[in-house]
Amino acid sequence: MNKLKTLFLILTFVPFLSFAPVLADSNPLNAACETNDLTRASAVCQQSQSQGTTDPISGPNGIISVAANIIASITGIGAVIMIVLGAFALATSGGNAEATKKARQRITGALIGLVVVALAWALVRLITDRVIG
């Protein structure tokens, strides 16, 4: 059971950590396009500025938001499966105190994991939609 919890935590949080360097500079052309009038007039800078603040990596529909949605969906489905398995184990425990305790711990762990994933997803969406985008 501990290995399953560890795997659940790794699959939940490690992908979010891999996107941290991306948040540092959402558009690397900003510094180059603001240096002087000659570079500001280039076609690449004009196109970059005409696109607005929608960034394909960290924008509202960027890679980070899509990855957060996918990860939240997968972990949400996993949490629901764990809750169902815990409920089944609780129903079939037959009054065994040890089995009842394990089933309740499984349900509690799944609910805590679901809340953590929901909060992480909401935080990622808040940052990509309001702060960066």
Instruction: Put residue 95 in one of left, alpha, beta given phi > 0 → left and psi -120 to 50 → alpha.
Output: left
In a domain, 32, yes or no: no
Q: How far is 39 from 104, CA to CA, in rounded Å?
A: 63
pLDDT tens digits for range 33-72: 666 665 566 666 666 555 555 666 776 677 888 898 999 9
Q: What is the pLDDT of residues 81-116, one digit of tens each?
A: 999 999 999 999 988 999 999 999 999 999 999 999
Q: Which domain, by its residues, includes 110?
A: 2-22+55-132
Q: Is residue 46 part of a domain?
A: no
For residue 113, which amino acid is it? G
Is 29 inside a domain boundary?
no
pLDDT of residue 130: 76
Instruction: Give the Cα separation of 59 and 57 in Å (integer).
Output: 6
Closest CA relative to residue 109, chosen from 10, 1, 13, 16:
1
CB 64 within 8 A of CB 24: no
In a domain, 27, yes or no: no
Q: State the pTM of this model.
A: 0.56
If one counts the domains in the chain, the total is 1
Alpha helices in the chain (DSSP H): 2-17, 29-33, 37-40, 43-50, 63-91, 97-126
